[in-house]
Structure 1
Amino acid sequence: MKRAFEKPGTALLLRCITYAMKRHRGKLLLLTLLATGQAASAQETYPLNGIADPREGCFAFTHATIVKDPQTTLNNATLVIRDGKIVSAGTSAAIPKDAVIVDCKGKYIYPSFVDIFSNYGLSEPKRGASAWNAPPQFLSNTKGAYGWNQAIRSEVNAVDLFSADDGKAAPLREAGFGTVLTQQPDGIARGTAALVTLATAKENKVIIREKAAAAYSFDKGTSTQNYPNSLMGCIALLRQTFLDAQWYKTQPAKEGVNLSLEAWNASQQLPQLFEVTDKWDALRADKIGDEFGVQYIIRASGNEYQRISEMAATKATFALPLNFPGAIDMEDPADARYVSLAEMKHWEMAPTEPAAFEKAGIPFCLTAADLKDVKQFLANVRKAISYGLSEQKALEALTKTPATLIKAYDKVGSLEPGKLANFLITSGPVFSEKTILYQNWVQGNRYTIKADGWNDIRGIYTVNLTPGGSYSVEVRGTAAAPLLSVLQKDTLPGRIDVNGKLVSLSLALAKNSKSNVRLSGIIGDNSWNGTGADTSGNLVKWTAVFVKAVPEKADSVKKETPLAIGPLYYPFNGYGWEKLPSQQDLLIKNTTVWTGEKEGKLENTDVLIRNGKIAQVGKSLAAGNARVIDGTGKHLSAGIIDEHSHIALSRGVNESSQSVTSEVRIADVLNPDDVNIYRQLSGGVTASHLLHGSANAIGGQSQLIKLRWGQNAEDLKVTNWDPFIKFALGENVKQSNWGDRNTVRFPQTRMGVEQIYTDAFTRALDYEKQGPGKRRDLELDALVEILHQKRFITCHSYVQSEINMLMHVADSFHFKVNTFTHILEGYKVADKMKAHGAGAGTFADWWAYKMEVQDAIPYNAAIMQGAGVLTAINSDDAEMARRLNQEAAKSIKYGGMTEEEAIKLVTINPAKLLHVDNRMGSIKVGKDADVVLWSDNPLSIYAKAEKTIVDGIVEFDRDNDLQLRKRIAMERNRLTQLLLAEKKKGTPTRKASLTPEEIYHCEDLQGGHQQAIGY
């Protein structure tokens, strides 16, 4: 039997048994028992329509190179399986008498791959139907005793929705997978995932574990509920759900039955998976996990290589998708100019991600998630290997690591006794480009991927023709695509075609011969034979006898270095650093210093900076080891502080779904890659107060940042500062211009806005009075902080009546409004603002852009300042922030301010409004070294920021900027040529298109996009 079963399978086994039954009918029971082993006594609950046939196969795969796991390879070994499980794998494995023997000489056996991020067997989630003009949906419409928000779907179990689908399983098997963890990719909390095999069988047979992991994301999915409608809202909802679930566990009677929270709590002991769409989201997810003691397995997005040190710091394990971006068609220069350098570099560098993780020692597995065509998976693995990923780590990332992560290594992931018989049979090393995947066995069932080449006929043969002579021929190439040569004085090309056991040959016997010997026949175990025609057309008989094998070089993945790859930039755009700058000791000599303090302007003065602080201000200072910067004829001021900004944010500035969203935090959604950080450094800005928008009465918590270009989100933040929050009044809050569908959210009038504030703070007082065991409410926590002067208000405002109203509400609840921002009618109520203790952040000369600003005047800032109201000029606009020095200068023209008072509008005054004037906003010994060296008087329209220094680091240098522009041009040209070459090779390309950029203003409900060209 040994050589008869080159292509084993259940059908072949049945044929053998049927034949035996015919010859040995009296031994039917014994033969059946031998064929089935222990399975003969198995019972099932499913009824049978037909004749029972419970037989299971036993197979022995001999003479194979068995890769038991990434660290263990056995040569000339045997794998034995029975009843869908591995019995043994080793060089001396005993072969059962009833085993069907499969000779795997020259072949490799690997564990089938495991993918822990799949939605196999689950239908595509669909968003509920609603009319285009339907009103907002404030509560969940999920029927049953579930949680209040339908984006929290922790009660969903993939196992309840799973349906085996061989049509979708087949391409996954062909890519080498045998097991997947499948989840419903819908919602922020997605419920549990099921571990299933890709066998063709009923669901109850392929499910390994019903609840193998719990899944999460920052995407609300198909939820039709308004909240959340921003990234910061999604994060806030996730954070609040953690708290609610903890409270529910200890206080169930107060909530009643909440199946969503019950399911959430029940799934916390499972492996926790988190899908992200950006490198910064990976850090956001990890931070949430750290807050609640959870270590997520993070399904990466593909750009994490850009911040590999931050990824390592998470201590998380990642699942890396191999969905590398396609080449871009750069043929048309008019279209190509819209493609950002960052997008071009990502195309080049994305395949380096797995290697970067391996080099950094970050544990990871690989996933086919997001691939439109899973047939590309192995090709992309090979590409990752060619870009530096080791073959051993690649195998580990597809077998042992994913199985271990989901606590299933006792079932799958290696070839050990007792585990499922999930394995691949290949012609060579699994990641070699020439290797053929012959079969993928799943739960002991064979699935043929490619039959051609199973019998490796490569070698030297002697072909004997009768009549005729003998000829030596060589068969090379691959097992699936052999090539033939006739070995004479001149090696002559021939042709060979193999179809199963049938073979045809064409032999050239002489150089430049016009006709060949044509033969056809059968491949036998030891020789070939058949008939044919010689060069004259005469009938001949022939045989071919194997002489020896042709030694082949080890066929492993090429380790050749790919095209020279450009450097990483921090941030990942043309103006980023190749290496982050370090703090320097600096001496700026002989310049005009605008101190912003009582000393005023100091001519021909030096400023010494040490350890990121202003160390000395005076004349003829000793430099010591400090770098000397000549400031002759130039001006030095404190860095500009933008009191009202919306730069550097991700996926939404407004959580506009509710009237009170004090639980959301700008700090959660910082985007350090925003090029507006660099642009504003070029305008002398060193710090920005990032605010929630003005879509609701009580918005989210704000964040003060330093413009530390290239740093991560955490390092942008100013620490140990008094926290702030955004309030709003007027048209935006009552949804005046939101369209007819937005007429149901309270309030719809200015009168209602007052009641929202009164109600919110009344609820906060009641909440504070509750005793032990109360449910922690993040929305009310922030309001309680306001009541205790631990959080401070910046309020979007225009109309004097509303300004008076909010001060009245604040007085009633015994807190202060710290800052009225915009405040274009502030000149009307400046005396009342001073009495209340409120400051102002305003525009210099914006007006007439909506009804409530018709009374705005450019004298506003000067009048408020003159009345004793601490006043600043802010931007609320990414572009205007680059010229805040000029905006400040307008108060000299319209209000008669002195130059020194005008510059304070954008330096020390906003610092005071933000309670950081002890650290920044002026040039004073001991303060942070946040300064700007200007080419001219900083209030002049001709002034340029030559150097912008933050914490003693030169974050912007105009001379360096000119060099960066040249670098950008060179790098764009280099990458353009590579992309053009890809297209010339025939590589599929995608159309060049505009690269969007997130630009936000107060009232934006979605991101305003503008083109990003060149950088």
Structure 2
Amino acid sequence: MKLKFLLFVFLAGAQLQAQEYFPKNDGVKTTKTGTTVFKNARIHVNPTTIIDNGMFAIKDGKISAVGKNISVPANSQTIDLKGKEVYPSFIDLYSEFGVEKPKAAGNGNGQPQYDASREGYYWNDHIRPDNDPLSAFSFDKDKAGKLHKAGFGVVNTHLADGIIRGNGMLIALNPDGSDGDRILKQRSAQYLSFDKSATSRQSYPTSKMGAMALIRQAYLDAEWYAKGKAENKDLALEALNRNKNLLQIFATDNLLDELRADKIGDEFGIQYTILGSGFEYENLDEIKESDATYIVPLEFPDAYDVEDPFMASKVSLHDMKRWNQAPANLKMLAENNVPFTLTTEGIDAEKDFRKNLLKAVEYGLSQEDALAALTTVPAGLLGEENNLGTIKEGAWANFIITSGDFFDKETTLYENWVQGKRSVLENMNVTNIKGDYDLAVDGNSYEVKITGEPAKPKAEVKMGETKIGSKLSFVDNWMNLLLSSPDTTKTEFIRLVANVPSETDKISGKAILANGNETSFTATKKDTEATSEEKKDEAKETPEVKPVSFPNNAYGFTEKPKQEDILFTNATVWTNEEEGILENTDVLVKNGKISRIGQNLNAGGAKVVDATGKHLTSGIIDEHTHIAASAINEAGHNSSAEVSMEDVVDPTDINIYRNLAGGVTTAQLLHGSANPIGGRSAILRLKWGESAEDIIFEDSPKFIKFALGENVKQSNWGSRSRFPQSRMGVEQVFTDYFTRAREYEQNKKNDKDYRKDLEMETIVEILNMDRYVSAHSYVQSEINMLMKVAENFDFNINTFTHILEGYKLADKMKEHGAGGSTFSDWWAYKYEVNDAIPFNAPIMHSQGITVAINSDDAEMSRRLNQEAAKSVKYGGVSEEDAWKFVTLNPAKLLHIDDKVGSIKTGKDADLVLWSDHPLSVYAKPEKTLIQGTVYFDIERDEELRERISEERNELITQMLKAKNNGVKTQPVTKKEEQHIHCDFLEEIH
């Protein structure tokens, strides 16, 4: 039957009013009385120093004295904090508090904007170091109240608008003061991000790599401007120079961007403080090497609702692991001595901050490190270590008063004082009756557990193993507890009433039994030491956190593969050298190099792999790929020579592993084809599990992407505003930029204080043959045009990629010295490829052109061996030459054939062991090596698949348990994998 509760009213005369130490007021104002002394408190002076039963005094908004015993000035007001604890109020380094968000710019006529809209400022609207939040600041009492409840007293606020965003402002969350009182520093930091300004529609940059290039150029321009060489005044550059000695805070939203920001800082000798993602643990080595302090949001992913098995299958292992691992992020940072602070960014400060902080502590973060992250670390970064984040003489009187240990979930935050001004969060004069009690009434014994806020306690009552219905009311220290009968067939109640003294381990009072008789009751609090021991035992049960893999998603390694000495015996070896294909041959790999090739070689301690009946080749090289990238096109200008694909390498892309499983070891990551002069390339070794920097081919030649045809003249974009709009215009773009580059080079020679232009620097490299060109191309007229333009400026095009009409002018390409990297048989996917034929590669090859077969596609790149085989069928190319189309020839086109592309003594051991003839559709790579390290092994792949299945099941079980325990879950949404080609456009916001 349902438990019925009686409702009753307390007699006003039976209630005792709580004595208050301040006159009644509106809850946020106090009478100014000079000095206020707090005594008998447990004072957390800083994260490592505690004064038990201590005293401190405040006057004029600051701490005037603190210690075990301090002198109490005459006429001072004294507040007894016996049983309570005091901590410094917290500091949030990253905030938008009180700053009105700028209004987004309209869409104009629907066409892109290319020029800046501000006169007297930088050429790009998204560089706004002149932003000053003061003009847009208005103290937000409601938000300040929420931050008070989370324990914060100070925020570093800013106008979050632009790539370089201007200065921040340090604000005390003083509930009573004026803005003049609250502003502790008007210029406290400079903020940066990869996000564009909402107030401008200026197109450039459209990509992350464009934003990085723009920041670099702005820094260079600021240095040049400071020399007084500029003809016109630039208020943005003046502000950038003015802000350079401030704390530099860089806002990012993912782990890769954190490292990209640090990369820019390292280039210019700037140590950024980085707003992180909360997933720093996934790449602790690089995070530690950055030497940055991280501002970490206390936002953890919700568990997924995985009750539906079909929907559960749509959740990636990576997302599941992040739910499991993210709460341990702060613990791992602390263990690795990575400095960090905490922010309320992205969460509801009142509801989620403390809850998530306690969760981080539950997952192993020490209380000392947590307190430091909220107090002394941010104060030190701001240069305010003597004024904020500590309770010491001379510091601002910013502190919180709690009922006990801040990191005990049962602890209540009573008050938050900022600049000596009090904000009442909970009435701290209410006796705290929380605890476990033995209750004796009418000859019966009960166990009572009281939890909740002191002013709003909740009771759980048991008689033996039987749960007893109860209702607890606690007003002005009068306790009323209603107990239902343990016999659920009876509607009977016992009413207990008592006035609880301020300090007691025993509550006694009157009991009114079900029959109306009155008696007494006694509730005795259980041994607190025993309770503490129970809590310690509970604390030992830390949640199971899955180990981090490299990368931290499916098919990641628990340990990064290590270089091995390996002897392959009795293989059919495709050397790609004069020796051709060698039967029953051994290949010895030592120290990452091909050491010896021959028969009956001595292993000399190397691991022996029996390759009988198998084929050993050099690794496949893809001259044109778009895998492993966070961006492909910088489409904001018709030339983006200043951007680099090396800036946006994504080493966690699963396509790296898939390519290894297809025998690919090296690939050129090319910019897309949004503009005639694209971005600089990145040549990658596909080292799965390594960092972005470590998969970039060491000391690789420099390349850049050019493009011709439909994409660059925007045939399919609908834009009619950006030059060029025709194939004639494309030619003129090249001529104009090459001419400008020659002029720039001459100016550079004549003026030691020249303005360094990253775009022009790159184009000068092209003209001087210090950077090679890979040109996206289709139609013979344009291919011919670009060769002529290059010859007019005394350089040549290194590679025409796609080159589907190469067969029409192969003789001219040969004369020019260009290579061709083409598709085997793609055609008819747009108008300008209608004349493509599968004989293209063989015809170019027959004319002596260095020919490669490329993918430009994440799926095709996994079977380039089969793409090469098509040239045997279409055109009768020999098997050895066809194999070179995907190995030695692309190595030659990339100018790395001295290291890779063939099996030759002294070259890098980038090798693939195939189960069958490498040009066969039945052939599978069994091992793929890069510099002697096995990054793909077909047997290990089977083990990884089993581990993935086990790990998914374990995590699904954890999520089901979490949901059953009432934890909030999120619905599963299927994430579609983006299929990226040359025309993919990213748009940063």
TM-score of the pair, normalised by structure 2:
0.91
2:954 paired residue number? 974
- Kindly state the Cα deviation for residue 869 of structure 1 after the two structures are TM-superposed: 1.1
User: In the TM superposition, what are the counterparts of 1:867-946 in structure 2 within 5 Å?
Assistant: 867-946=847-926
The alignment status of 1:118 with 2:98, answered yes or no, reads no
The 10-residue stretch of structure 1 (497-506 or 414-423) with the greater mean CA deviation from structure 2? 497-506
CA contact (8 A) 2:154 2:171 kept: yes
Distance 2:44 2:353 in 1: 20
1:25 paired residue number? none
The alignment status of 1:383 with 2:365, answered yes or no, reads no
The SS at the match of 1:731 is coil
2:544 paired residue number? 564
- Kindly state the Cα deviation for residue 613 of structure 1 after the two structures are TM-superposed: 0.3
- Kindly state the Cα deviation for residue 617 of structure 1 after the two structures are TM-superposed: 0.6
1:748-792 deviations in Å (ceiling 9; x for gaps): 111111110010011001111112211100000001111111101
Count of residues in Structure 1 that have an aligned counterpart in Structure 2: 960
* Cα separation, partners in 2 of 1:5 and 1:410, compared to 1, 3 Å: farther
* Cα separation, partners in 2 of 1:887 and 1:544, compared to 1, 3 Å: closer
Give the residue type in structure 1 aligned to 2:712: V
The alignment status of 1:91 with 2:68, answered yes or no, reads yes
1:28 paired residue number? none
The alignment status of 1:738 with 2:717, answered yes or no, reads yes
CA contact (8 A) 2:496 2:509 kept: no
2:128 paired residue number? 153
- Kindly state the Cα deviation for residue 361 of structure 1 after the two structures are TM-superposed: 0.9
1:753 paired residue number? 730
Give the residue type in structure 2 aligned to 1:197: A
The alignment status of 1:163 with 2:142, answered yes or no, reads no
Distance 2:221 2:407 in 1: 47
Distance 2:253 2:742 in 1: 39
1:400 paired residue number? 376
The alignment status of 1:100 with 2:80, answered yes or no, reads no
- Kindly state the Cα deviation for residue 906 of structure 1 after the two structures are TM-superposed: 0.6
2:116 paired residue number? 140
Distance 1:487 1:967 in 2: 48
1:314 paired residue number? 290
* Cα separation, partners in 2 of 1:233 and 1:884, compared to 1, 3 Å: same
* Cα separation, partners in 2 of 1:473 and 1:1003, compared to 1, 3 Å: closer
Distance 2:779 2:800 in 1: 11
2:213 corresponds to which of 236, 247, 252: 236
Give the residue type in structure 1 aligned to 2:288: A
The SS at the match of 1:559 is helix
- Kindly state the Cα deviation for residue 675 of structure 1 after the two structures are TM-superposed: 0.5
Distance 2:541 2:257 in 1: 31
Distance 1:673 1:844 in 2: 29
2:187 paired residue number? 211
The SS at the match of 1:714 is coil
1:956 corresponds to which of 936, 948, 963: 936
2:168 paired residue number? 193
- Kindly state the Cα deviation for residue 533 of structure 1 after the two structures are TM-superposed: 5.8
The SS at the match of 1:978 is helix
- Kindly state the Cα deviation for residue 687 of structure 1 after the two structures are TM-superposed: 0.0
The SS at the match of 2:168 is strand
1:353-377 deviations in Å (ceiling 9; x for gaps): 0001011011111111111454111
Distance 1:518 1:500 in 2: 16
Distance 2:28 2:853 in 1: 88
The SS at the match of 1:211 is coil
CA contact (8 A) 1:460 1:472 kept: no
* Cα separation, partners in 2 of 1:5 and 1:416, compared to 1, 3 Å: farther
CA contact (8 A) 2:28 2:422 kept: no
Distance 1:957 1:491 in 2: 58
* Cα separation, partners in 2 of 1:202 and 1:383, compared to 1, 3 Å: same
Q: Tell me the percent identity.
A: 46
User: In the TM superposition, what are the counterparts of 1:252-267 in structure 2 within 5 Å?
Assistant: 252=229, 254-267=230-243
1:175 corresponds to which of 150, 157, 164: 150
CA contact (8 A) 1:458 1:550 kept: no
CA contact (8 A) 2:20 2:429 kept: no
CA contact (8 A) 2:439 2:524 kept: no
The alignment status of 1:863 with 2:843, answered yes or no, reads yes
The alignment status of 1:623 with 2:603, answered yes or no, reads yes
Give the residue type in structure 1 aligned to 2:910: D
Distance 1:453 1:472 in 2: 28
In structure 2, stretches of 5+ residues that fail to align are 1-15
- Kindly state the Cα deviation for residue 404 of structure 1 after the two structures are TM-superposed: 0.9
1:432 paired residue number? 408
1:366 paired residue number? 342
The SS at the match of 2:636 is coil
Distance 1:743 1:288 in 2: 34
CA contact (8 A) 1:286 1:296 kept: yes
1:444 corresponds to which of 411, 414, 420: 420
1:640 paired residue number? 620
2:252 corresponds to which of 272, 276, 299: 276
2:299 corresponds to which of 323, 345, 352: 323
1:841-884 deviations in Å (ceiling 9; x for gaps): 11111111111111111111111111111111111111101111
CA contact (8 A) 1:704 1:718 kept: yes
* Cα separation, partners in 2 of 1:597 and 1:84, compared to 1, 3 Å: same
CA contact (8 A) 2:18 2:430 kept: no
2:768 paired residue number? 788
The SS at the match of 2:880 is helix
2:667 paired residue number? 688
Give the residue type in structure 1 aligned to 2:584: N
CA contact (8 A) 2:28 2:423 kept: no
Distance 2:820 2:28 in 1: 90
- Kindly state the Cα deviation for residue 504 of structure 1 after the two structures are TM-superposed: 3.7
Distance 1:842 1:511 in 2: 85
1:590 corresponds to which of 551, 567, 570: 570
In structure 1, stretches of 5+ residues that fail to align are 18-34, 36-54, 1009-1015
- Kindly state the Cα deviation for residue 492 of structure 1 after the two structures are TM-superposed: 11
Distance 1:463 1:975 in 2: 42
CA contact (8 A) 2:415 2:423 kept: yes
Give the residue type in structure 1 aligned to 2:342: L
1:535-577 deviations in Å (ceiling 9; x for gaps): 764789x999999996674497853333322221111211110
* Cα separation, partners in 2 of 1:15 and 1:100, compared to 1, 3 Å: farther
- Kindly state the Cα deviation for residue 81 of structure 1 after the two structures are TM-superposed: 1.1
The SS at the match of 2:683 is strand
User: In the TM superposition, what are the counterparts of 1:68-87 in structure 2 within 5 Å?
Assistant: 68-87=45-64
**How well do the aligned residues superpose, as a CA RMSD in angstroms?**
3.3
2:261 paired residue number? 285
Distance 1:533 1:185 in 2: 62
1:47 paired residue number? none
The SS at the match of 2:913 is strand
The SS at the match of 2:117 is coil
1:23 paired residue number? none
* Cα separation, partners in 2 of 1:374 and 1:151, compared to 1, 3 Å: farther
- Kindly state the Cα deviation for residue 665 of structure 1 after the two structures are TM-superposed: 0.2
CA contact (8 A) 2:439 2:448 kept: no
- Kindly state the Cα deviation for residue 202 of structure 1 after the two structures are TM-superposed: 2.5
TM-score of the pair, normalised by structure 1:
0.89
- Kindly state the Cα deviation for residue 452 of structure 1 after the two structures are TM-superposed: 6.2
* Cα separation, partners in 2 of 1:462 and 1:687, compared to 1, 3 Å: closer
- Kindly state the Cα deviation for residue 507 of structure 1 after the two structures are TM-superposed: 9.1
1:601-623 deviations in Å (ceiling 9; x for gaps): 00000000000000001111111
1:455 corresponds to which of 423, 428, 431: 431
Give the residue type in structure 1 aligned to 2:862: R
1:802 paired residue number? 782
Give the residue type in structure 2 aligned to 1:199: N
The alignment status of 1:845 with 2:825, answered yes or no, reads yes
Distance 1:205 1:264 in 2: 27
Distance 1:464 1:832 in 2: 104
Distance 1:298 1:545 in 2: 53
1:698 paired residue number? 677
Distance 2:483 2:939 in 1: 72
